[in-house]
Amino acid sequence: MTITAGELLRRVLMAAGVDGVYGAQFGTLEATQVPARVAELFAAAHHRVHGVRAAVYRGDGIFALPPIEAGNRLCIAAESADELIAAVPLLCSPCEVELRVSLDPDGQVADLAPASAPAEERWVDPARDTVEALRRAPSVTVLAGPGVVRHDAVSGLHDLAFAAGVGVLNTWGAKGVFDWRSRHHLATVGLQERDFELGGLGEVDLIIATGLDPLEAPDARWELAPALRVAPGALAQLAENAGDMRRSPAMPPVRALLAQVTQRGWTKEEAPLSPSRVTMNYAECLGTDGLLAADAGTAGFWVARTFGTTRLGAVIVPSAPTPGFAAACVAVARLRRHARSALAVVDAPVDAQTFAVVDAAASLDVEVPVEIWDPDGEKLDAEAHRLRLRRLVLGRATGADPSGGPGKADQHTLATDPAQLPEIVDVAGPIIAWT
């Protein structure tokens, strides 16, 4: 029996855990058809929003998987059905992968069924010296990065925090690993020069570092005390070995200092709104299952700094500047569920990639609402902003200008009060994120 090469490739991608394809069609292999210039943005956003990988196909026989971890690009050539089957384990690499398929997508090949790639090992034995160091250290803080989310180890992080009685600092790629009101949540860090210092990392006896992204937490900035690196998969096992440590998390200065600035902004009702009041409105209007995605920049800083997370996946801010990423996250979220409350937040002037993503989504009958932080934008008080947000996050905003050009009908500007920025810089130093 035979099948088409397009069908065999579908099976191969499925076996490798690839959840979809963005770009052009490859025979019977279905794809979400978007222009080549934004296909990689959609695929990267797909992984960030849905937690599973997507491929890019530009119609040239080359499939690409955007990287989810740093590493050298892996190139695979498949000139036969057997070579395509053999590519499954290689397609599971977390680095950037390029698959060159020489087969005719409609040509007939053997009816083969690839074996699924082995499941990721999620139960890792921690090094014995890690357990002993944790038991001996009078004071411990955990520093967690996005790898904890990527490797599905948030429950292990919770177990360790509870068993060892320690607090957790998270970088912005791991926002939401704890509810912001939890006594184990110390702060989101890495955004400003003094974050790690004020997070108390220079005052503890031991730092447990797990799942870090060097773009969010360069070693030289956070290694202010003896540190041990623990794989995300070892967190639950470490918690079991730690036992009940009878500790209680100690809040570092950063929590109270940032809260003072943030909460002063909450009280401002008049226009222009303080940035932290804007992010409070976002949290209120996006509800229990909404998504807020922000690009790197002023808006992204304030979202990462002051958005109070109560669940994982509520907010996405990239570790590196990636124009169009916020809009792509909203697009892929709404491709799966059109009615999902979602909002992209960007700075003015809006980049061409954001416009291209919004246009591509519109061609798929998906609306991507965008709020643009612009010093010369609309000056709204708190109530007017909330009313606009409620319409905006649910779909086409009442009052949007339909003559704004392609993809621009759901975009609105907002001016924020610049006075809050020097306040927060005085507390934690200059902004270092994305520099």
Q: What's the whole-model pTM score?
A: 0.94
Tell me: pLDDT of 368 over 90: yes
Give 370-382 pLDDT, tens digit per residue.
Answer: 999 999 999 999 9
- The mean of the pLDDT values for the chain is 93
Helix/strand/coil for 18: strand
Give 169-184 pLDDT, tens digit per residue.
Answer: 999 999 999 999 999 9
pLDDT for residue 395: 66
**34, 55 contact by CB (below 8 A):** no
Tokens of 126: 């921690």
pLDDT for residue 405: 43
Mean local confidence (pLDDT), 131-139: 93
Tell me: pLDDT of 409 over 70: no
Please give the CATH topology (third level) of the domain spanning 128-252: Rossmann fold (3.40.50)
- The candidate with the shortest Cα–Cα distance to 209, out of 238, 252, 183, is 238
What residue ranges of the chain are covered by domains with CATH 3.40.50.970?
269-416
What residue ranges of the chain are covered by domains with CATH 3.40.50.1220?
128-252
pLDDT for residue 48: 97
Mean local confidence (pLDDT), 266-283: 97
pLDDT-derived band at 127 (thresholds 50, 70, 90) equals confident
Residue 52's identity, in one-letter code, is: V
Tell me: pLDDT of 402 over 80: no
pLDDT for residue 404: 44
DSSP state letters, 283-335: HHHTTTT-EEEE-TTHHHHHHHHH---SSTTSEE--SS--TTHHHHHHHHHHH
Helix/strand/coil for 76: strand
Please give the CATH topology (third level) of the domain spanning 269-416: Rossmann fold (3.40.50)
Tell me: pLDDT of 287 over 80: no
Give 55-112 pLDDT, tens digit per residue.
Answer: 999 999 999 999 998 889 999 999 999 999 999 999 999 999 999 999 999 999 999 9
Helix/strand/coil for 166: coil
Alpha-carbon distance values, 116 to 12, 87, 291, 359 (Å): 8, 11, 31, 36
Tell me: pLDDT of 324 over 90: yes
pLDDT for residue 151: 94
Decide the pairing of beta strands 62-65 and 97-101. Answer: antiparallel
Q: What percent of the chain has pLDDT over 90?
A: 88
